[in-house]
Structure 1
């Protein structure tokens, strides 16, 4: 997973690149009104700085990554004719460091951490036709620490979810209403529209997801695709769009294979992705059983020049009559 970047300091110029292989096991557990997510991550790789050495040559050092996340939610009560109230909390951290030594790149480290806790509310309406509409809102207090912006802030999120047959729409916006850091702000919005369920059932699936600014809040930690490509930096107003198409085919022994392709643009790069998922079907051969593998490759074309590549492998296993617990392993290179 290389990340090339150019630097310029006076008369000196160079190019910094990293390559990282990481593994991220995670698990989801649910019981009654309580749901818990836990994620860990370790990675090793190299960092290279071309042009930093005294002779304009190449510096190379080892690179290590560590991260973790624990997030929990609990539905507390139902009031006012169906409004569900709940509590939600999160603790996350990440640390990146280079190996010890005497070069410019050696003995560098950076870490970030965040604690968030708050309330959420949602109200759903269903029609006999199968349409379901659910507005929701969240109010959270968070504390940021580490190498990025530090301080305490108040975060607001609101949105609406709509499902009608194969059509699903998820629209949401978020903003950092208050923060103790001077002149620091976050805001953004996103809309995800999908038609079909090709990754879960036989058939075609199309999805389109435009985003603006820092649109992804706590929900980015609750989805199976943990590595959403290149999230927006805090405070950015840049826009991005992701599109994906897949088609599921039924195979013998109640298996389902779904090749897919994706395209995304935003934050100084274009992303191309191809891959396939392989899963099992329930006895009725229409709905997916809780076993799935996914493999994909990505190519990122950078605005300032250069190319990134990524290979991903995802495995999901769900235990119990309902999706009560999920464990998965993803390796990224």
Structure 2
């Protein structure tokens, strides 16, 4: 990736693979798998320090393996995509004024497979348009505390050979922060107002509470949250990424998604007070599963008032149990390492570049 004062340019390289099964309307069924490698150059121009426009285009190539009635077909597969958008802060109200942020983007993806003996060529197209606006206005309170109410609205249009339809969503929330006590709380909600399919419903609510008396990576910290339905936290990105339309024809939310999560951590000085080691315990509960986790993280000490660590190494073990059936208990051990660096402005990055949302 290359950065200048207003320009940002780079490329993302991805390799993906997957497998599954299919059942056709004529009763035929079988297995299907695919692999694809893609290259996605992108660029961004900063209209202001917090508002920018970006564009990306890409090409992917790979193979498709389809098995039907004992016969396997292996046609080549190709993908082309193009995307462009704008995101950032339209109006900066500062610590006490009205701020307005936006996301607007369009994405189109085309996939093709070649013809082979016994299997015809195929072609698929999907496109997506999104537009979202979010307004926030801080409200100062006594003793350094503050409220941050927010209101957001988003529209999304999906077309092509996958999920289709036009939808409008509304989100609202309020955050309370008391830095002197180390306490913060959030209440957020969202609802799908309209959609092209009358049977499609989407709504969500989330409440969370966090306690961190020492604004650094040292000492105790505790968080607890409860979410119901679709993702309500995450701002405009969450508002404009509803669940897929697998909910069509479902039972009016009788199996609505819920999750309760809590985490307790404590940061200890180590290596001559230059580093911090933080063990933490986590628990997540839903109507269908329970997950317990133990995590150890190692970070450089950034000092009081600094919460952004330049690098982190963590080791996390998890135990996940399916509470709805007789599935075996899953155990996992994950080692992570990441390095952070400053960027001039929010760019598209790999996540916005790759067409996974289509």
Provide the TM-score with structure 2 as the length reference: 0.60
Aligned residue runs from structure 1 range 1-333, under 5 A? 34=50, 72-76=87-91, 78=93, 82-91=96-105, 114-145=128-159, 149-164=163-178, 165-196=181-212, 200-216=216-232, 219=235, 221=237, 237=253, 238-245=256-263, 246-252=265-271, 253-266=273-286, 268-282=288-302, 284=303, 287-295=306-314, 296-302=316-322, 303-304=324-325, 305-306=327-328, 307=330, 309=332, 311=334, 313-319=336-342
SS in 1 for 2:144: coil
In 1: Cα distance, 2:214 partner to 2:270 partner:
14
Which of the pair has more CA radius of gyration?
2
In 2: Cα distance, 1:36 partner to 1:87 partner:
11
Is 2:172–2:189's contact at 8 Å kept on the other side of the alignment?
yes
In 2: Cα distance, 1:111 partner to 1:241 partner:
35
Deviations 1:83-104 (A, max 9, x none): 4142311548799x9x9999xx
Structure holding more helix per residue:
2
Report deviation, 1:131: 0.9
Deviations 1:159-206 (A, max 9, x none): 101111311111111111112223222111111211117894211121
Structure number with higher relative contact order (C-alpha < 8 Å, ≥ 6 residues apart):
1
In 1: Cα distance, 2:287 partner to 2:145 partner:
35
In 1: Cα distance, 2:213 partner to 2:115 partner:
52
In 2: Cα distance, 1:75 partner to 1:259 partner:
40
In 2: Cα distance, 1:137 partner to 1:211 partner:
19
Q: How has the CA–CA distance of structure 1 residues 218 and 268 changed in structure 2, closer, same or farther, with 3 Å as cutoff?
A: same
Is 2:92–2:99's contact at 8 Å kept on the other side of the alignment?
yes
How many residues matched?
316
Gaps of 5+ in 1: 19-27, 41-48, 56-65, 223-230
2:4 alignment partner in structure 1: none
Q: How has the CA–CA distance of structure 1 residues 114 and 268 changed in structure 2, closer, same or farther, with 3 Å as cutoff?
A: farther
In 2: Cα distance, 1:159 partner to 1:72 partner:
21
Is 2:216–2:304's contact at 8 Å kept on the other side of the alignment?
no
The alignment's C-alpha RMSD in Å is 5.6
Q: How has the CA–CA distance of structure 1 residues 70 and 267 changed in structure 2, closer, same or farther, with 3 Å as cutoff?
A: farther
Is 2:30–2:69's contact at 8 Å kept on the other side of the alignment?
no
Structure holding more strand per residue:
1
